[in-house]
Structure 1
Amino acid sequence: MTTNNSALAGIRVIDMSRVFAAPVGAQILGDLGADVIKIERPGVGDDGRGYGFSWVKGKDGIETRHSSFFTVSNRNKRSMTLNHSKPEGQEILRKLVETADVLIENYKVGDLKRFGLDYESLRQINPRLIYCSVTGYGQTGPMAARPGYDGLFQATGGMMAVTGIPEGEPGAGPLKAGPSLVDFITGHNTALAVLGALMYRSRTGEGQYIDIALLDTSVAMVSHIMQDYLISGSAPPRLGNGGNGGGPADLIHCKDGIVYLTAGTDEHWRRLTVLMKQPELFEDPRFDSNLKRGKHNRAELMDIINAWSRQWTVADIQAALDEVGIPAARYNELAEVWEEPQVKHRELRATTPHAYAESGSVDLIASPLAQMSKSPATIRSAPPMLGEHTREILNELGYDDARVAELQELKVL
């Protein structure tokens, strides 16, 4: 339940989005205390319920349909099934809009206008409504009608161009990042835009329309590397696991594992040469600038460092690097992440009660906003079952149980 110290207590969000990017945005608002009502297709639900490789196992033979994609992006929401193509479903949505502050949707451009559920129509009902559309390419332009998924935008926006094994090395070429990063960051941009619109409304009383595009995010997230190109006119090379700033920065191999090392300043580099008992490398003309260490002679330098690091265990080299103040971190497989002392200290594994799970709970990933001192993000409920809160929400809107039964018979719910 939302508490008074939740940042968005009293804010109601209608979440008409599916799969990942926009649901992440709505979830962030839910983490901050908003009442998020997720609208799903009767009998089918969010397409994201079928995405991913793992599903939460239900108790007593219940099929939760909580895939990894759905589970990671739909906590702190109430699920309501609704067929908005039917007049009765449109009527319910309009009643909801009367009570709402925000509506988030990610249908194809113009799709909801067919049902009178576009921004221009709904603002007549609620002028204070903040209406956010999330699409692949935006609401206008030559590609606006195209569907889009994360990998397409990693390819189009430049992310793949700067990710992958360097030219001249075995397997050279562009690579997609493992997680759906464009989707994930687009979700954060969605929440950020909504928060900005809420602040604007608090001053002016006016709602507004927000057009969020995965394409825009995909270009922006290339960040300093794209800015390097805009400044120089030259595309920086793919560096594999190499750092983007100072050097040496890369994976180094030890007797029993791998460590990521970033000796990113001249002083860090000097300390590393002392620790390696090769202080002459500090003034070696091959390595006497960040540009030489991080770009021109990077491979040669990393061969030297790896010849040294292979004599150490991960624990010993980490301790030695920590002692002299050189940034470094152990490489972790996914299972090892949760054994990291600092990960445990920050309580990033958030075990949450789940009434329909076989184990009675589900492990979620804590919000990075959980450490706010006055209004922290919280996990108050596990992702919902399909239509779990339909009756509850309709009762709040004034529909009695008899009318709910009629709507179910009409296949509106």
Structure 2
Amino acid sequence: ANDVPCAPVGSREAWFAGAAVAEGGLRLVLPHPELGEVAMPAPPVKFGATPASVRALPQVVGEAPAWPAKGADPARAAPAGGPLAGVRVLNLGTVIAGAYAGTILAQLGADVIKIEPREADMFRSDGSQFLAYNRGTRGLGLDLKRPEGRDLLLDLVRGADVVIDNYRLGVRGRLGIDYAALKAVNPRIVSCSINAYGETGARAALPGFDPLLQAEGGMMAAQGGDGDPILHTIAVNDIATAATVASAVVAALNARERTGEGQEVLTSLMAQSLLFQSGELVTYDGRPPNDLGGVDCLGVSALHRYYACTDGWIGLVAETADAAQAVGRVLGVEIGEAPLAEPRDGALAERIAAALAEWIRAEALAALRSAGVAAAPVLRGGEALDDDFLAQNGFVEGWAHPRLGPMVTAKGYAEFSRTPGGFRRPTPDLGQHSAEVLADYGIAPDRIAALMAAGAVF
């Protein structure tokens, strides 16, 4: 009642079967010849012009929809740079879900402009995470509440390809920058908007954050098991939403190549709370229950869990009878007749734990891997950023922020042989590139000076 974001902790099963998911159009029921009715999450992204669909369950082949071409642009040479080089993105997104989507696109070569008001993205106070989630973009300070600020944004949209935001439902309309306004100045624009609970239903206009979706979406209760709920300290739903948005933008740009038109793209944190629990949420009569966690949960079974060595922890996953026998040979323990069904805290787990407690981690990993068993070290944050293997394979890299100094963060998400991506800029300070960005978008110097003097741009 006082507009404070909040949500009850509950089970994922109740969340999926409840009103919020149904009103958001995110629950599908499809027939299966053997299982009967199967409920599953609907596509997490709504494309205004080329909607996605689940046409059938795997046993039945469905016809894919065909979207006729409407005069797409003629073939043209791709600009030098990453696979999205030449794509211009105006990112109004904040915190993680909206901001990080732009960073993923920037890493793929897009020119991403991070647009912030004077009060700044609230996540700037989070230091290192803000730096990682906003790297590779340029900063534009813009007051959209001023008429000249709104007019300027629409002028920028004329030269842009994509606009991203994660405003609460209705805010775009009140600012005069909803999809209809963007399309009026640029029919080719792709507008991707994120909110907490979708666009329909009683909750659509409510504010929401990742921990609330972890709570009501069932992640916290499932991880806590029979005990208290446990928060995932990584913002699972936020990061999932950013990744989904980046993929949706690429899909919408691809559709634009065929149709010649942009479109509105909509998604929500709620959609990703379902998408990233799809395996746990598919429902039918007789379905086995989901695995649950617990305080200090080390895994789901004796052969799928973490174990401590003398100098650190390892993760061990043996999912076949051969792999289970290999674990027994390497560690010198009795595996038993049905090792794959052994619980995480049973007698087999105790024998494996006792054996590995005598091993040096590197030696245990080498022996298990040479026997064909999947195993990996458990790395803490600092170890991961300093890990030779991750650095050699291009997962992390060092770089310098001009004000804050040396950094180490993730390098990228994919390698492209002909159009290599990568971050070309550090994380911007608030409004750092305002004049540069406006000049690049063709705004006249005298108008830039007037906007700065009026405070619409800073």
Kindly state the Cα deviation for residue 289 of structure 1 after the two structures are TM-superposed: 5.4
Per-residue CA deviations over 1:282-338 (Å, capped at 9, x if unaligned) read 32xxxx153x22x4x753321121122222221222222122121111222222223
Structure 1 counterpart of 2:124: 49
User: How large is the RMSD of aligned CA atoms in angstroms?
Assistant: 2.2
State how far apart, in whole Å, the 2-side matches of 1:113 and 1:305 are.
Answer: 60
Q: For 1:63-212, list aligned pairs within 5 A.
A: 67-164=127-224, 166-167=225-226, 172-212=227-267
* Structure 1 equivalent of residue 322 of structure 2: 267
Moved more, 114-123 or 330-339: 330-339
Q: Secondary structure at the match of 1:39?
A: strand
Q: Residues 326 and 73 from structure 1, CA distance in 2 versus in 1: closer, same or farther, beyond 3 angstroms?
A: same
Matched, 1:9 2:76: no
Question: What's the secondary structure of 2:164's corresponding residue?
Answer: strand
User: Structure 1 counterpart of 2:452, which letter?
Assistant: Q
Would the aligned equivalents of 2:82 and 2:108 in 1 still touch at CA under 8 Å?
Answer: yes
Contact 1:3 1:33 in 2 (8 A): no
User: Is contact 1:132–1:211 with CA below 8 Å preserved after alignment?
Assistant: yes
Partner of 1:366: 411
Alignment-derived partner of residue 60 in structure 1: none
| Counterparts of residues 195-274 of structure 1 (less than 5 Å) | 195-227=250-282, 232=287, 234-238=289-293, 241-243=297-299, 248-274=303-329
Match of 1:23 in 2: 99
Q: Percent identity?
A: 32
Query: What is the CA–CA distance in structure 2 between the aligned matches of 1:235 and 1:249, rounded to whole Å?
Result: 15
Gaps of at least 5 residues in structure 1 are 53-66
Pair 230,129 (structure 1): closer, same or farther in 2 beyond 3 Å: farther
Is residue 2:363 matched to residue 1:308? no
* Paired position in structure 2 for 1:57: none
In the other structure, the counterpart of 1:402 is 446
Question: Structure 1 residues 405 and 230, CA, compared in 2 at 3 Å: closer, same or farther?
Answer: farther
Give the AA of the match of 1:412.
A
Pair 231,401 (structure 1): closer, same or farther in 2 beyond 3 Å: farther
Q: Which amino acid aligns with 1:213?
A: S
**1:382 maps onto 2:458 in alignment:** no
Counterpart of 1:362, as a letter, is M
Aligned equivalents of 2:317 and 2:149: distance in 1? 56
Unaligned runs of 5+ in 2: 1-77
Q: Secondary structure at the match of 1:388?
A: coil
Cα shift readout 1:325-377 (whole Å, capped 9, x = no counterpart): 211112222222234331121133322243223x3x433321122x2222232
Distance of 1:238 and 1:275 partners within structure 2: 28
| 2:58 corresponds to | none
1:93-146 deviation digits (Å, cap 9, x = unpaired): 111011111100111111121232100121111111111111111122111111
Distance 2:259 2:285 in 1: 37
CA contact (8 A) 2:398 2:407 kept: yes
The aligned amino acid for 2:379 is N
Q: Is the 8 A contact 1:269 1:282 kept in 2?
A: no
TM-score w.r.t. structure 1 length?
Answer: 0.85
Letter aligned with residue 368 of structure 2: L
SS of residue paired to 2:435: helix
| TM-superposed deviation, 1:241 | 4.1
